[in-house]
Structure 1
């Protein structure tokens, strides 16, 4: 996995050493000698990861990290603090400033590259989402505190040692609810049902923790869930395996409550950011295929689905029919009741349309007051029945247009069944010609396309 990494250190020897190690693994490296330069380089170069020294003149690594994480342009970049400091308070301070991890000098190469690969995998996923949803509002999620009411989360702790699990639970942030599971199967079931984070004790002899992590990562329902693994101090081999499997973070026994709280907070913040990105992406995709006024599909979407249905019918699949419905005298409704009244009619029309269709039928607002219905598996007889049912439903009851006023509304409909070898455009033209015939013959009518059975 190739990536650009920013190395920040005021000691040239340290920079050269890290640069050489990273380039040997085919990473692209850029450098900075202090915090101010690091912030500027990060904004311009947009590295995939930052290795940040803590002890620097002018601005230390903690303040540099805070500024990076408060800047929407750099907030998404993972930061690993690299320092000779190894006290509890130093680690917690680094994590609370926004760092994604904390490595102590001298750095073990195996551990370094395992951490780097793990964070780069995560950033790759988030970048894919960010490229599809660039709203600045999403960046604010990374700076939300975990302890507020809106951030209540559920953590599942899986450990064969009930006393250890109880200690882990006690170290959670105040607004994180915890559930302890001694049985891995029960833990997975609980995670699938309702969880935001997993803490898995890899030191437990009661089960294979690495295999459990691998199983969680292979399950679609839990694949994106953050995992914090608990390991014995100095267990580099299992730490590397865990990170390669997809564990998000590691904490060593004896577990410090402050460090656990900081690491959990970081993971939950990151998860909320990713969840919001996915939610916004889903909404964007929905908006791309939906008419905002009526909630029906839009023209682009229905054209694509119609082509698929016609191609399927041409390849020996089920028949397909197409209905085009146009509200009669809609301009006079707009002229009399205004565009707000016209919009009310369009929304109510869409509601009645959906009420009268089969579950597998697809309806769309094709433009203005014109609607298209694709009926997979329906021949001309079914299409005529559906058309008459819709026409009668529209004419049966006046439409509300605002201020207690109502207006009678009727609809004209043309329909056609796809012929063998016919493409979607030809089917649309025939249904449209039938619609014009219905309108020309007096409106509030249903007409079949030419050469269709009467």
Structure 2
């Protein structure tokens, strides 16, 4: 997978060396000689991953990383800190700043390329979600990128898959101060728990006695219910080849034994934050999709969705010579409700009205709010007589019990008028059927309301 790699270093020879290596692996390379320039490039969206030197004059790499990870438009960009510093404290400082990895010079080319490709794959998962999340702003949803970037990465649910009690005790002791930790020694049971447990991160030992830890990583990444969970490998220094293989099959990160407690906490926190970042974006996209097709007051489908779906249902009915019926419902004297009790009471009535209509229909039926107090129900595979029975059931359900208003402090009687029509062989579109149902509704109103009227026969 190719990508745009930003190399940031104040020493030109270092920049040129990395640029040559990455270009030979078919990456597009962008360069910067200082932190300010790097931040500007990232804010313009011109980098998929950043290889960042630590020791730079003015703004060092730690501060650059911190600013990238705290920015709503740049928090998703993977950052690999590349430096000659090799002390655990230096690595921890980089991870605390939000870095996704910390590589020391001289670089191992194989490890570097594997890490870059792994992080680029992970970033590509969020890019489409980010693009769609931007669109949700126009629908009035709070800024999803800012909310995602503010995630702390604490209080995560962590599953540790390890069969050595002494190791699990140390891991649990370190992580439990900041997360909810569960231990599973049986690899088969671990996969079941991972699928059912809604974990933020799973730590997988590569040294299990009777099972290949890499296979667990692969299964976690491939199963539908676990593919979004963060996977962190635990291995020995001599497991280098297997760790690189794990990154290739989709594991997110790794730790080398003996595990430094602070590095463990920093890497797990990074993985929890990344997983929740993606979840926030995914939730935002889902919300925007729902807002595009749902009426926010009643929870029914809106007019836009109804117009689109109704045409499809009509065409399918005609193609297969199956019956199709429609109800047009209107709350009787709804203006009086608003004028007498207030618009808040009117909203309460509409919500309860929608619930009662929904309770009388099937999952395959289309129930949509046309606007105001008018609701349309489209009933596939339903004869005219059956549709009349549904309409009468709705009418009785609405009339049967008073509607609570003013937060259950008062109640009022509500009734509904309903027009019913079905598809005819000569209908050219759903609009013709709807026109007949609408005419029947007006006849129900004229006849005294609180009744069901069927459209005139051809």
1:218 CA displacement: 1.2
Can you list the C-alpha shifts for 1:110-152, whole angstroms capped at 9, x where unaligned?
2111111111111111121111223535434444434xxxx42
**Further displaced range: 326-335 or 396-405:** 396-405
2:44 corresponds in structure 1 to: 44
Runs of 4+ in 1 over 6 A off after TM superposition: none
The more displaced of 71-80 and 398-407 is 398-407
Secondary structure of the residue that 2:6 maps to in structure 1? Answer: strand
The DSSP-based 3-state class of the residue aligned with 2:81 is strand
Alpha-carbon spacing, 1:215–1:381, altered in 2? closer, same or farther (3 Å): same
8 A Cα contact 1:72 1:136, kept in partner: no
Report the Cα distance in structure 2 between the residues aligned to 1:161 and 1:247, rounded to whole angstroms.
Answer: 22
Partner residue in 2 for 1:162: 165
Q: TM-score, normalised by structure 2?
A: 0.91
Residue in structure 2 matched with residue 121 of structure 1 by the alignment: 121
Q: Tell me if structure 1 keeps the 8 A contact 2:332–2:415.
A: yes
Deviation string for 1:240-298 (max 9, x for gaps)? 21011000001112211111111001101111211222222222222222212222221
The corresponding residue for 2:177 is: 174
Is structure 2 residue 353 aligned with structure 1 residue 353? no
Does the alignment pair 1:274 with 2:278?
yes
The SS at the match of 1:295 is: coil
Structure 2: segments with no counterpart, 5+ residues: 135-141
> Could you say what secondary structure the match of 1:107 adopts?
coil
Instruction: Tell whether the 8 Å contact from 2:54 to 2:61 is kept in structure 1 after alignment.
Output: yes
Label 1:397 to 1:158 Cα distance change in 2 as closer, same or farther (>3 A).
closer
1:406: how far off? Answer: 5.1
SS at match of 1:236: helix
The verdict on how the C-alpha distance between 1:25 and 1:420 changes in structure 2, with shifts beyond 3 A counting, is farther
Change (3 A) 1:335 1:139: closer
Aligned to 2:312: 308
**Unaligned stretches of 5+ residues in structure 1:** none
Judged with a 3 Å threshold, the aligned counterparts in structure 2 of structure 1 residues 401 and 156 are, in CA distance, closer, same or farther, namely closer
Looking at structure 2, the residues matched to 228 and 245 of structure 1 have their Cα atoms a distance apart, in angstroms, of 12
SS of the residue 1:133 aligns to: helix
Structure 2 contact 144–284 (Cα < 8 Å) conserved: no
2:430 is the counterpart of 1:424: yes
Are 1:136 and 2:143 matched, yes or no?
Answer: yes
Residue 291 of structure 1 aligns to a residue whose secondary structure is coil
Q: Does 1:441 align with 2:441?
A: no
State how far apart, in whole Å, the 2-side matches of 1:346 and 1:315 are: 35
Structure 1 residues 435 and 140: CA distance shift in structure 2, 3 A: closer
Q: What corresponds to 1:28 in structure 2?
A: 28
Deviates more, 1:302-311 or 1:370-379: 302-311
Distance change in 2, residues 1:211/1:348 (3 Å): closer
> Bigger shift: 284-293 or 86-95?
284-293
Supply the distance in 2 between the matched residues of 1:400 and 1:13 (Cα, whole angstroms).
75
Whole-Å Cα distance in 1 between the matches of residues 418 and 299 of structure 2? Answer: 21
After superposition, where does 1:211-250 map in structure 2 within 5 Å?
211-250=215-254
Q: CA deviation at 1:321?
A: 1.1
Of 293, 297, 303, the residue aligned with 2:297 is 293
Flag the 1:267–1:418 CA change in 2: closer, same or farther, 3 A: same
Q: TM-score, normalised by structure 1?
A: 0.92
Alpha-carbon distance in 2 for matches of 1:5, 1:14: 14
CA RMSD of aligned residues (A): 2.3
Q: Structure 1, residues 221-251: CA drift from partner, whole Å, max 9, x if none? A: 1111111111221543212210110000011
Q: Which moved more, 1:261-270 or 1:396-405?
A: 396-405
* Residues 1:173 and 1:266: Cα distance change in structure 2 (over 3 Å): farther
- C-alpha distance in 1 between matches for 2:173 and 2:411: 63
Structure 1 partner of 2:202: 198
Q: Does 1:210 align with 2:214?
A: yes
- Residues 87 and 293 from structure 1, CA distance in 2 versus in 1: closer, same or farther, beyond 3 angstroms? same
Aligned to 2:227, what secondary structure does the other structure show? Answer: coil
Q: How does 1:41-190 map to 2 (within 5 A)?
A: 41-134=41-134, 135-136=142-143, 138-146=145-153, 151-172=154-175, 174-190=177-193
Cα offset, 1:80, TM superposition: 0.4
- Would the alpha carbon gap of residues 392 and 167 (structure 1) be closer, same or farther in structure 2, given more than 3 Å must change? closer
Equivalence for 1:393: 397
CA distance in 2, matches of 1:200, 1:269: 18
**What is the rounded CA distance, in whole Å, between the counterparts of 1:21 and 1:76 in structure 2?**
25
Aligned length: 448
